[in-house]
């Protein structure tokens, strides 16, 4: 289904080239000041701005349709929608029967028997993360205000040396190719004890949200995969009077937050839609064909993802905080 959560319930709807992308939020307490202006800063961080990001330019203006009255939340479900206006749907006619490798095209064409609206990747598009960012903005307002979210790209094209990034991006762009990146996120001020021992462990809830972001390929908490090469004496976090003294476990032990900052790293794949020639199957003729994806695509969509990862964390925490 397309609804997440019990305490903070988030439903997304719409499609990349449909009339709107939107989100319906339930479980938001009454009396929180909320206006369209509150969304500006985070939406701007998600919007494309450089030559390495899509040339599609949308206003991304939130329209609050319900749940807010006189500038405050009412306790009723909040519906927010974003009108699409800069679609170039004809760019996608070429892929009606030739799925673009790496995208949702092939499984969606098979699963929905040709009925899915895959213009601009439809409901699988990175554009759906507008809804996620909007839900994150409201989640950040519900959560205790002392929580501090911080996120950034820390690795691009396999290197953390920032001086190399522009050259790598230019090279990929000239080659009609793309790059992936790693985004780190920390949340400071999280109290001890959020999460449940098993299915709703804090990592499980966070992972559910993080892996809902299109294009995510990996997630690490604290030392992450490096922990498997460490000794216990190295990985364990000694405990002081104010909690853990280092953060190898990323702020979670036994599925419960331990008072240290939540600390995670998210691996994003390189953009699938590339103009470099690839091979695919024509589902009508059953012949293999070459395909070059024209249209407007991010060379490295992960550049736009730090705020989306923050939103995922905020939604997860809003779900886990149960007064
Ligand atoms: C903000 C954002 C922008 C994206 N832009 C593109 C894009 O321009 N072209 C593309 O092929 N994929 C893009 N993606 C990734 C696809 O949506 C994703 O790869 C696709 O739906 C398949 O899902 P999967 O990679 O999780 O398997 C973007 C993702 C995000 C989060």
* Residue 323 predicted with pLDDT over 70: no
CA 142/CA 264 separation, integer angstroms: 22
User: Ligand 1, from 180, 298, 305, 310: best to mutate by most atoms within 8 Å of Cβ?
Assistant: 298
CA 26/CA 18 separation, integer angstroms: 24
Q: Are 266 and 237 in contact (CB under 8 A)?
A: no
Nearest CA to ligand 1 atom 27: 215
By C-alpha distance, which of 83, 321, 97, 45 is closest to 196?
A: 321
CA 74/CA 289 separation, integer angstroms: 55
- Model pLDDT, residue 126: 94
CA 114/CA 116 separation, integer angstroms: 6
Task: Compute the Cα dihedral for 270, 275, 278, 280 and give only its sign.
Answer: positive
Poorest-pLDDT segment among 109-118, 149-158, 213-222: 109-118
Nearest CA to ligand 1 atom 14: 126
| 7 DSSP 8-state letter | S
What proportion of the chain, given as a percentage, has pLDDT over 90? Answer: 86
By C-alpha distance, which of 69, 72, 87 is closest to 34?
A: 72
pLDDT tens digits, 156-191: 999 999 999 999 999 999 999 999 999 999 999 999
User: Ligand 1, from 271, 276, 278, 293: best to mutate by most atoms within 8 Å of Cβ?
Assistant: 271
Nearest CA to ligand 1 atom 20: 103
What proportion of the chain, given as a percentage, has pLDDT over 70? Answer: 100
pLDDT tens digits, 94-117: 778 899 999 999 999 999 998 999
Domains, in order of start, for the chain: 3-320 (3.60.150.10)
Q: In the structure, which protein residues have their CB atom closer than 6 angstroms to any atom of ligand 1?
A: 54, 103-104, 121, 124-126, 129, 213-215, 269, 271-273, 297-298, 301, 304-305, 308
């Amino acid at each position: 289904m397309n609804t997440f959560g019990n305490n903070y319930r988030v439903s997304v709807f719409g499609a990349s080239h449909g009339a709107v992308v939107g989100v319906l939020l339930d479980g938001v307490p009454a009396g929180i000041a909320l206006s369209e202006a509150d969304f500006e800063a985070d939406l701007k961080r998600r919007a494309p701005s450089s030559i390495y990001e899509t040339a599609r330019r949308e206003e991304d203006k939130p329209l609050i349709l319900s749940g807010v009255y006189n500038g405050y939340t009412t306790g009723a479900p909040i519906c927010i929608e974003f009108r699409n206006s800069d679609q170039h749907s004809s760019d996608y006619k070429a892929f009606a029967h030739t799925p673009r490798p790496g995208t949702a095209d092939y499984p969606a064409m098979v699963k929905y028997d040709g009925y899915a609206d895959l213009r601009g990747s439809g409901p699988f598009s990175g554009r759906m993360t507008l809804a996620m960012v909007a839900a994150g903005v409201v989640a950040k307002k519900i959560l205790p205000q002392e929580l501090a979210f911080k996120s950034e790209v820390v690795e691009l094209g396999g290197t953390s040396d920032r001086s190399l990034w522009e050259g790598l991006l230019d090279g990929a762009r000239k080659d009609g190719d793309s790059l992936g990146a790693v985004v780190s996120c920390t949340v400071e001020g999280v109290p001890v004890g959020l999460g449940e021992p098993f299915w709703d462990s804090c990592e499980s809830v966070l992972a559910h949200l993080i892996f809902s972001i299109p294009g995510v390929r990996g997630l690490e908490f604290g030392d992450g995969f490096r922990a498997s090469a460490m000794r216990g004496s190295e990985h364990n976090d000694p405990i002081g009077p104010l909690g853990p003294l280092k953060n190898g476990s990323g702020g979670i032990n036994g599925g419960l937050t331990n008072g240290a900052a939540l600390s995670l790293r998210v691996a994003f794949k390189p953009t699938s839609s590339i103009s470099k020639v690839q091979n695919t199957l024509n589902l009508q003729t059953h012949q293999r064909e070459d395909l070059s994806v024209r249209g407007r695509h991010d060379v490295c969509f992960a550049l736009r993802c730090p705020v989306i990862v923050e939103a995922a964390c905020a939604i997860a925490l809003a779900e886990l905080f149960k007064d």
